[in-house]
DNA sequence: TATCAGGCCCTAG
DNA sequence: CTAGGGCCTGAT
């Protein structure tokens, strides 16, 4: 399956930090594991190629990559006088907000706190290999699905320290218990507003405002969520002393947040 | 050797 | 309610 490459850049998406299971192969193609699925994606000659059937593309990956959304409207909304944001959008014009699986995002962002990207990836890889199901992709590639809540629910709270989670182990195990025993119903979040969903997520042990916002943005597609981490906070303090114009970007501030986040990590490496 | 990374929990005041 | 110490671990 291939599509025209319009406001889509798989490298930017992989580097925007919303997914921890996208990796670049030696041949430049990207491997993505999402929940229990696997796909290989690459770009060539103005097209993006998705190594899957048309049916699987329509059913899953099209939505996963948010391909029905026109991102130009978000980019065009940026105040031309705002030089910082204009530069950010220019650099990250191929970013998209993925539609990722809820449970996977809860655990991933529990792990992400006070942590660096390299270790986050390793942690997720560790728990997947140990507690996830081994799968074989249609092209023969072996991979591990993200572990289900049930697979983690019976562990001792510190058991995931063996997977390198450190003090976050108990956050993940307790949350897995709550989900597996029905105390916390994941499906119940989909029908909620951003504010309501965030309020529910904050009840989970280990989930604070920042992590809840990331889950809302990357799993529930609440694109008005605007996660504020240390990087974003510094940008707001440095470039928006008079206050960030949230009003102008009302309803899709999360998309703008991603442009900023990507820009902060990559503006010096181009 | 100290600091800090895409925070959060918990306790004091 | 707000401030601040403590927390696993590894990279710099």
Model pLDDT for residues A152-166, shown as the tens digit of each residue: 999 999 999 999 999
Output the pLDDT for position A270.
65
| Protein CA at A210 to nucleotide C1' at B12, angstroms | 24
Residue A269 has pLDDT above 90, yes or no: no
Q: Which nucleotide is nearest to A108 (CA to C1')?
A: B6
A126: pLDDT confidence band, cut at 50, 70 and 90?
A: very high
Q: Which residue is nearest to nucleotide C6 (CA to C1')?
A: A167
| Protein CA at A229 to nucleotide C1' at B5, angstroms | 11
Q: Which nucleotide is nearest to A168 (CA to C1')?
A: C8
Model pLDDT for residues A9-34, shown as the tens digit of each residue: 999 999 999 999 999 999 999 999 99
Model pLDDT for residues A128-183, shown as the tens digit of each residue: 999 999 999 999 999 999 999 999 999 999 999 999 999 999 999 999 999 999 99
The answer, as to whether pTM is greater than 0.85, is yes
Model pLDDT for residues A83-125, shown as the tens digit of each residue: 999 999 999 999 999 999 999 999 999 999 999 999 999 999 9
A268: pLDDT confidence band, cut at 50, 70 and 90?
A: confident
Residue A247 has pLDDT above 90, yes or no: yes
Chain C bases having any atom below 7 Å from a protein CB: 7-11
**Six token digits for residue A185:** 């119903």
| Protein CA at A141 to nucleotide C1' at C11, angstroms | 31
The dihedral through the CA atoms of A85, A87, A89, A95 has a sign that is negative
Output the pLDDT for position A4.
77
Residue A75 has pLDDT above 70, yes or no: yes
Residues of A 131-170 whose CB lies less than 7 Å from any atom of strand C: 161, 164-168
Q: Which nucleotide is nearest to A166 (CA to C1')?
A: C8
Residue A1 has pLDDT above 90, yes or no: no
Residue A36 has pLDDT above 70, yes or no: yes
Chain B bases having any atom below 7 Å from a protein CB: 5-9
Model pLDDT for residues A197-237, shown as the tens digit of each residue: 999 999 999 999 999 999 999 999 999 999 999 999 999 99
Q: Which nucleotide is nearest to A169 (CA to C1')?
A: C8
A43: pLDDT confidence band, cut at 50, 70 and 90?
A: very high
Output the pLDDT for position A153.
98
């Amino acid at each position: 399956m291939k599509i025209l490459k319009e406001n889509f850049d798989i490298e930017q998406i992989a580097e925007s930090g919303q997914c921890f299971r996208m990796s670049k192969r030696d041949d430049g193609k990207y491997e993505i594991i999402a929940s229990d699925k696997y796909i290989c994606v690459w770009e060539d000659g103005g097209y993006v190629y998705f190594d899957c059937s048309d049916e699987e593309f329509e059913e899953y990956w099209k939505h996963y990559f948010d391909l029905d959304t026109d991102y130009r409207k978000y980019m065009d909304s940026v105040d031309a006088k705002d030089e910082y944001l204009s530069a950010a959008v220019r650099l990250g014009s191929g970013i998209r907000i993925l539609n990722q699986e809820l449970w996977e995002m809860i655990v991933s962002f529990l792990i992400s706190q006070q942590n660096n990207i390299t270790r986050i990836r390793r942690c997720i890889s560790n728990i997947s290999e140990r507690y996830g199901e081994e799968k074989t992709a249609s092209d023969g590639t072996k991979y591990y699905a993200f572990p289900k809540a049930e697979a983690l629910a019976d562990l001792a709270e510190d058991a995931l320290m063996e997977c390198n989670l450190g003090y976050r182990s108990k956050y993940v195990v307790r949350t897995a218990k709550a989900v597996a025993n029905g105390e916390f119903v994941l499906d119940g979040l989909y029908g909620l507003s951003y504010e309501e969903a965030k309020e529910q997520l904050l009840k989970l042990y280990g989930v604070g405002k920042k992590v809840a916002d990331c889950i809302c943005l990357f799993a529930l597609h609440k694109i008005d969520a605007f996660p504020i981490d240390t990087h974003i906070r510094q940008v707001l303090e440095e470039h928006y002393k008079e206050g960030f114009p949230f009003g102008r970007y009302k309803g899709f501030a999360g998309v703008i947040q991603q442009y900023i986040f990507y820009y902060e990590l990559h503006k010096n490496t181009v």
